[in-house]
């Protein structure tokens, strides 16, 4: 079965610090990869996605993620965080063999101090 | 509205009761998904519809849970004989075929 691991459950950063959130998945075949974000009081929104092609994916609000197939990883990065990035971030995987369902990690709560 | 909507936003019920949760997907989206999110965890897949039929119901925890999408649009998740362990946020998402999924705000279910 697929599984997704997010290594840090809570991260606290100061504004302008760099961010990297780890995500590893267990499935060995072709995968589609996603990062979703949930801002306080709001619903899940797509931050970025990888289906194929360039493994470095750029998303909204200055976020990017790199797919490293050999490491089964899809880490999320942002060079300089803002207070408004305070949110919970979820990595998710979809593998064709398992249909269209998404398998989510447990989430990482990011708090940015102003 | 342009997004996925879910009603009610909150539902409090007593153990043993029956509940129905409703999802209105984005107009034109062919696929509809139900997930459940417990405190401190990521969303967990329950069931997926392609049109009117359930294409994958492997995530439904037991036969107390059932979902329908009779006209290929609105879906209802039905939970019989609710238990305290069913308390969670129930999320609905929709997509156009197999593209990215758009999530609704969720229904917070509390079973007393």
For the cut 60, the answer to whether the pLDDT of residue B1 exceeds it is no
| Predicted local confidence at residue B76, as pLDDT | 98
**Which of B:16-55 have CB within 8 Å of A?**
31, 33, 35, 40-45, 48, 55
> By CB neighbour count within 10 A (0-12 exposed, 13-18 middle, 19+ buried), where does B100 fall?
middle
Contact A100 B31 (CB under 8 A): yes
Going by the DSSP 8-state scheme, the letter that residue A42 receives in this structure is S
Q: Alpha-carbon distance A105 to A34, whole Å?
A: 11
**Which of B:85-104 have CB within 8 Å of A?**
91, 93, 95, 98, 100-104
Q: Alpha-carbon distance B22 to B95, whole Å?
A: 17
Residues of A in contact with B35 (CB under 8 A): 102, 104
Q: Alpha-carbon distance A105 to A35, whole Å?
A: 10
| Cβ contacts of B1 within 8 Å, gap of 6 or more | none
Q: Alpha-carbon distance A46 to B102, whole Å?
A: 8
Sole residue written with tokens 């539902």: B11
In sign, the C-alpha dihedral spanning B98, B101, B106, B112 is positive
Contact A43 B31 (CB under 8 A): no
Q: Alpha-carbon distance A13 to A28, whole Å?
A: 33
Q: What stretches in chain A show pLDDT beneath 70?
A: 1, 96-99
Candidates A7, A9, A32, A44: best to mutate against B (most CBs of B within 10 A) is A44
For the cut 90, the answer to whether the pLDDT of residue B79 exceeds it is yes
More confident site: A57 or B97: A57
User: A37-52 pLDDT, tens per residue?
Assistant: 999 999 999 999 999 9
Nearest to A99 among B56, B102, B105 (CB): B56
User: B40-61 pLDDT, tens per residue?
Assistant: 899 999 999 999 999 899 999 9
| Predicted local confidence at residue A98, as pLDDT | 60
| Cβ contacts of A54 within 8 Å, gap of 6 or more | none
| Predicted local confidence at residue A29, as pLDDT | 79
Question: What is the pLDDT of chain B when averaged over all its residues?
Answer: 94
User: B59-69 pLDDT, tens per residue?
Assistant: 999 999 999 99
Residues of B in contact with A104 (CB under 8 A): 35, 42-44
Contact A44 B91 (CB under 8 A): yes
Say if CB B23 and CB B104 are below 8 A apart.
yes
What is the rounded average pLDDT of the residues B13-31?
A: 96
Q: Which of A68, A102, A85, A95 is nearest to A13 (CA)?
A: A85
Nearest to A106 among B42, B55, B103 (CB): B42
| Predicted local confidence at residue A19, as pLDDT | 97
Q: What is the token pair recorded at B49?
A: 């519809």
Nearest to B42 among A45, A100, A104 (CB): A104
Beta bridge partners, A10, equal A109
| Cβ contacts of A98 within 8 Å, gap of 6 or more | A2, A27
DSSP state letters, B8-47: -SEEEE-TT--EEEEEEPPTT--EEEEEEE-TTS--EEEE
Could you tell me if A102 lies within 8 Å of chain B, comparing CB atoms?
yes
| Predicted local confidence at residue B109, as pLDDT | 98
| Predicted local confidence at residue A96, as pLDDT | 64
């Amino acid at each position: 079965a697929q599984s997704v691991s997010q290594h840090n459950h809570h991260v606290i950063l100061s504004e302008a610090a760099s961010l990297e959130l780890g995500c590893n998945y267990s499935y060995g075949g072709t995968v589609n990869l996603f990062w979703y974000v949930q801002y306080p009081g709001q619903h899940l929104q797509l931050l970025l996605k990888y289906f194929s092609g360039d493994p470095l994916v750029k998303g909204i609000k200055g976020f990017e993620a790199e797919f490293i197939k050999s490491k089964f990883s899809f880490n999320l990065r942002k060079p300089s965080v803002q207070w408004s990035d305070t949110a919970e971030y979820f990595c998710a995987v979809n593998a064709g063999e398992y249909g269209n369902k998404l398998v989510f990690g447990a989430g990482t709560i990011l708090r940015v101090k102003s | 509205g342009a997004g996925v909507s879910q009603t009610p936003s909150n539902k409090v019920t007593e153990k043993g009761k029956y509940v129905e949760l409703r999802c209105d997907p984005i107009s034109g989206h062919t696929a509809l998904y139900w997930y459940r999110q417990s405190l401190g965890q990521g969303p967990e897949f329950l069931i997926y519809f392609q049109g009117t039929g359930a294409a994958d119901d492997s995530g439904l925890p037991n036969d107390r849970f059932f979902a329908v999408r009779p006209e290929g649009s609105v879906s209802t998740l039905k939970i019989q004989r609710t238990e305290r362990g069913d308390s969670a946020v129930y999320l609905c998402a929709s997509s156009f075929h197999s593209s990215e999924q758009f999530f609704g705000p969720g229904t917070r279910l509390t079973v007393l």
